């Protein structure tokens, strides 16, 4: 009886070991079969658009390269130098922003997220829309990828300099960061702000 029991135990242990070896081999095979793919994405930094090239293999982020020529030297450039390695090491954008360079850090993470989420599933599309500002028509050009608003450019030549122009300078970045027009109007420039949001909504609804 003891001999039979020993044989059963040995068989069970052997079967479990073989299953473990097969699982490990399968995981390694899956990793080996995955191809390296380069993805691109855009985000909004402190000085303007940030573009990234992200090399991935399966679920692994192998490298992140950042093109952000308008970020502040010595401040935004700290994020450009440090953040890509942190993202690659973590295989995620869920990492701390670089101290003192929050806007650039968030722009890099936004760009990487856009690259990862839109890998072959959504094309960039340019939309236009018109709204009514304080001085006349406001026209916007909105670049979208899937549900992400990548950029907003405003053409509003009749808005009041120093008042309406504040909304033209500030509001597009807020809309891009929120991926929505549900943002606060710029203080003192309500009519222009509402006109920009109306124009963006009309552009998005034209898809």
Instruction: Considering only residues 16 and 132, tell me which one the structure prediction assigns the higher pLDDT.
Output: 132
Q: What is the pLDDT at residue 96?
A: 95
How does pLDDT run across 51-110, given as a tens digit for each residue?
Answer: 999 999 888 999 999 999 999 999 999 999 999 999 999 999 999 999 999 999 999 999
Average pLDDT of the residues in 13-39: 56
Average pLDDT of the residues in 4-11: 52
Model-level pTM?
A: 0.47
In 3-state terms, what secondary structure has residue 71? coil
Q: 172 and 149 in contact (C-beta within 8 Å)?
A: no
3-state secondary structure 35-49: CEEEEEEEEECCCCE
Q: 80 and 108 in contact (C-beta within 8 Å)?
A: yes
Q: What is the pLDDT at residue 125?
A: 85
154 vs 175: CA distance, rounded Å: 12
Determine the topology of domain 36-117 in CATH. Sufe protein. Chain: A (3.90.1010)
Q: Which residue intervals of the chain bear CATH 3.90.1010.20?
A: 36-117, 124-205
Burial 76-106 (b: 16+ CB within 10 A, else e): bbbbbebbbebbbeeeebebebbeebebbbb
How does pLDDT run across 111-142, given as a tens digit for each residue?
Answer: 999 888 865 555 678 999 999 999 999 999 99
Q: What is the pLDDT at residue 59?
A: 84
Q: What is the CA radius of gyration of the chain?
A: 25
Q: What is the pLDDT at residue 26?
A: 46
Domain range 124-205, CATH architecture: Alpha-Beta Complex (3.90)
pLDDT(181) > 70: yes
Q: What is the pLDDT at residue 206?
A: 83
Strand partners, 42: 51
């Amino acid at each position: 009886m003891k001999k039979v029991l020993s044989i059963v135990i040995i068989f069970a242990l052997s079967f479990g070991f073989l299953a473990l070896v097969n699982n490990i081999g399968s995981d390694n095979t899956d990793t080996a079969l995955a191809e390296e793919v380069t993805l691109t994405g855009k985000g909004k930094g402190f000085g303007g658009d940030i573009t990234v090239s992200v090399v991935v293999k399966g679920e692994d982020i192998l490298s992140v390269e950042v093109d952000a020529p308008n970020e502040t030297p010595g401040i935004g450039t700290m994020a450009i130098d440090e953040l890509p390695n942190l993202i690659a090491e973590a295989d995620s954008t869920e990492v701390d922003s670089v101290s003192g360079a929050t806007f650039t850090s968030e722009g890099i993470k936004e760009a990487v997220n856009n690259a990862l989420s839109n890998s072959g599933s959504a094309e960039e599309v340019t939309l236009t829309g018109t709204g009514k500002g304080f001085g006349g028509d406001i026209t916007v050009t909105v670049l979208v990828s899937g549900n992400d608003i990548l950029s907003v450019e405003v053409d509003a030549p009749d808005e009041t300099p120093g008042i309406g122009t504040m909304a033209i300078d500030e509001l597009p970045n807020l809309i891009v960061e929120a991926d929505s027009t549900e943002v606060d109007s710029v203080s003192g420039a309500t009519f222009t702000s509402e006109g920009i949001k109306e124009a963006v909504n009309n552009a998005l609804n034209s898809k």
